[in-house]
């Protein structure tokens, strides 16, 4: 057996970075906060604005905007870029003759990311963390680095289709629960002396359990009170621990495997097809934008109207989930086309440079979202949880955007990486990396 040659694997230097990837990553990162902010600042409001935060006037308009343009799409775009970044890391390492050293480096990076995700959820207090599922599925994709792009797309679409079929199954189960439950309620209303069969009792119990998914004012107030406690009380609260466990266990296999792994595979394929690198024609990106938005926004409009016309009825919301991945996928494709046209146009160069800086510090800025928002909303900070309407949350979002667009370029003028990126790289390479920039 021959020994693995010494290979000098180093983090990607500034001159080797692909600017379009950084810009789109910056856009996606900022866009993710548009959706996450409801989880940071309101109780049970992410999927159902009638629970808290308001569902009328500007509050409803904000929800419609989110549901039409951003729900799942910024996360989808960010996930695709994770896949693209994986190929960028491994390809460059292998080109340097890295061999098994590249695999060692890659898996160290992923395992450290897994730990960061656990810390992020349990101690920095963001249950909606994506680092943990990214790491889990990141462990699976290394053997796929040489798979042809068209096969990766096929695999990604198959995963999305399976996820959609599961949603169809859930909808029909929910519809059956409602139909049978309402029938028993009507039977009791028409004849209060009727003796219910065991099947009637089971149907009624299932319907009562299902209706509990619509939160009461008392439950909302309990959640607000819980989030206004001290740090360790929040960390150790039973409801938060249960939710964290659900997010990092059940949801991984019930949703994320179809939702995240699929987009990682699509991201790898798009990188192989040179789409993210901006090397396709203006016509290509324009067609991608038009087709993506025509299909995606049509589906999203259909889903939005189901929610609105039913006043966010639980079964109608379940019905809308059937086409969620279809609308999300095509709207994300539309975003890619639009953002690439923006990048290739060269307009607003100062903004593009700022977005690229945000993207280069994606891990730091993502964690900063949590640090800023938990400090602002939770009880050990400014205690604003549950005190803002839905539309008012976006004042916080815009403020964070401005802060990160300003400090990211300034930081990178003096330092090679963001602090979280520096720590991640140092741990991954098992060597303290240079931090300050030498001009």
pLDDT of residue 273: 96
Distance, in Å, from the CA atom of 113 to the CA atom of 118, rounded to the nearest integer, reads 9
C-alpha–C-alpha distance, residues 45 and 432, integer Å: 42
Distance CA 274, CA 278 (A): 7
Nearest to 134 by CA among 267, 324, 323: 267
Of residues 143, 347, 140, 345, the one with CA closest to residue 257: 140
Spatial separation of the C-alpha atoms in residues 24 and 427, rounded to whole Å = 26
Q: Which of 41, 32, 63, 245 is nearest to 130 (CA)?
A: 32
288's tokens: 């991608």
- Neighbour tally for 402: CB within 10 Å: 10
pLDDT for the residue 439: 66
Give residue-wise pLDDT tens across range 114-141.
Answer: 999 999 999 999 999 999 999 999 999 9
And the tokens for 98? 């890295």
**Please, which residues bridge with residue 436 across strands?**
415
CB 293 within 8 Å of CB 360: no
- Given a cut of 50, the residues of the chain with pLDDT beneath it are 1-5
Burial of 426 (0-12, 13-18, 19+ CB in 10 A): middle
Do 344 and 323 meet the contact criterion of CB atoms below 8 Å apart? Answer: no
How many of the other CB atoms lie within 10 Å of CB of 299?
20
Average pLDDT, the chain: 93
Residue with tokens 């360790």: 232
Q: CA–CA separation, 361 vs 355, rounded Å?
A: 10
Q: What is the pTM of this model?
A: 0.93
Quick count: other Cβ atoms within 10 Å of Cβ 162?
14
SS (H, E, C) the chain: CCCCCCCCCCCCCHHHCCHHHHHHHHHHHHHHHHHHHHHHHCCCCCCCCCCCCCCCHHHHHHHHHHHHHHCCHHHHHHHHHHHHHHHHHHHHHHHCCCCHHHHHHHHHHHHHHHHHHHHHHHCCCCCCCCHHHHHHHHHHHHHHCCCCHHHHHHHHHHHHHHHHHHHHHHHHHHHHHHHHHHHHHHHHHHCCCCCCCHHHHHHHHHHHHHHCCCCCHHHHHHHHHHHCCCHHHHHHCHHHHHHHHHHHHHHHHHHHHHHCHHHHHHHHHHHHCCCCCCCCCHHHHHHHHHHHHHHHHHHHHHHHHHHHHCCCCHHHHHHHHCCHHHHHHHHHHHHHHHHHHHHHHCCCHHHHHHHHHHHHCHHHHHHHHHHHHHHHHCCCCCCCCCCCCCCCHHHHHHHHHHHHHHHHHHHHHHECCCHHHHHHHHHHHCCCCCCECCC
Dihedral sign computed on CA atoms, order 194, 200, 201, 205: negative
What is the maximum alpha-carbon separation in the chain? 87
Q: What does R_g of the chain's alpha carbons equal in angstroms?
A: 23
pLDDT of residue 2: 40
Contact of 252 with 67, CB cutoff 8 Å: no
State whether residue 422 is helix, strand or coil. helix
**Res 4: pLDDT:** 46
The sign of the dihedral angle between the CA atoms of 11, 16, 19, 20 is negative
Q: How far apart are CA 130 and CA 152, in angstroms?
A: 22
């Amino acid at each position: 057996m021959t020994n693995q040659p010494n290979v000098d694997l180093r983090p990607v230097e500034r001159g080797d970075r692909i600017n379009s990837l950084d810009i789109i990553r910056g856009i996606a990162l900022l866009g993710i906060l548009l959706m996450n902010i409801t989880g940071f600042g309101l109780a049970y409001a992410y999927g159902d604005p009638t629970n808290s935060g308001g569902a009328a006037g500007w509050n409803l308009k904000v929800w419609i905007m989110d549901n039409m343009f951003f729900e799942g799409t910024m996360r989808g775009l960010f996930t695709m870029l994770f896949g693209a970044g994986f190929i960028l890391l491994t390809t460059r390492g292998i080109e340097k003759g890295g061999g098994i050293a590249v695999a060692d480096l890659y898996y160290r990076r992923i395992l450290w990311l897994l730990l960061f995700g656990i810390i992020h959820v349990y101690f920095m207090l963001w249950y909606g963390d994506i680092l943990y599922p990214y790491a889990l599925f990141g462990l699976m994709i290394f053997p796929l680095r040489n798979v042809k792009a068209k096969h990766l797309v096929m695999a990604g679409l198959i995963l999305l289709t399976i996820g959609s079929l599961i949603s169809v199954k859930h909808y029909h189960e929910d519809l059956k629960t409602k139909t049978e439950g309402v029938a028993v309620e009507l039977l009791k209303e028409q004849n209060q002396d009727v003796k219910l069969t065991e099947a009637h009792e089971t149907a009624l119990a299932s319907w009562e359990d299902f209706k509990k998914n619509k939160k009461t004012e008392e439950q909302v107030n309990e959640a607000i009170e819980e989030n206004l406690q001290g740090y360790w009380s929040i960390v150790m609260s039973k409801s938060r621990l249960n939710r964290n466990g659900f997010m990092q266990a059940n949801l991984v296999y019930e949703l994320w495997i179809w939702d995240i792994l699929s987009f990682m595979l699509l991201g790898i394929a798009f990188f192989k097809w040179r789409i993210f690198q901006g090397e396709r024609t203006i016509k290509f990106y324009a067609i991608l934008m038009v087709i993506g938005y025509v299909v995606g926004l049509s589906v999203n409009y259909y889903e939005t109207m189901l929610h609105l016309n039913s006043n966010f009825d639980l079964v109608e919301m379940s019905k809308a989930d059937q086409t969620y991945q279809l609308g999300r996928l095509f709207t994300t494709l539309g975003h890619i086309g639009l953002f690439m046209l923006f990048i290739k146009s060269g307009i607003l160069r100062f903004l593009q440079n700022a977005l690229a800086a945000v993207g280069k510090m994606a891990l730091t800025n993502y964690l900063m979202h949590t640090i800023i928002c938990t400090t602002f909303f939770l009880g050990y900070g400014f205690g604003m949880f549950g005190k803002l309407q839905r539309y008012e949350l976006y004042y916080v979002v815009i403020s964070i955007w401005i802060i990160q667009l300003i400090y990211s370029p300034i930081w990178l003028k003096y330092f090679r990486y963001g602090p979280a990126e520096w720590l991640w790289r140092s741990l991954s390479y098992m060597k303290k990396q240079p931090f300050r920039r030498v001009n």
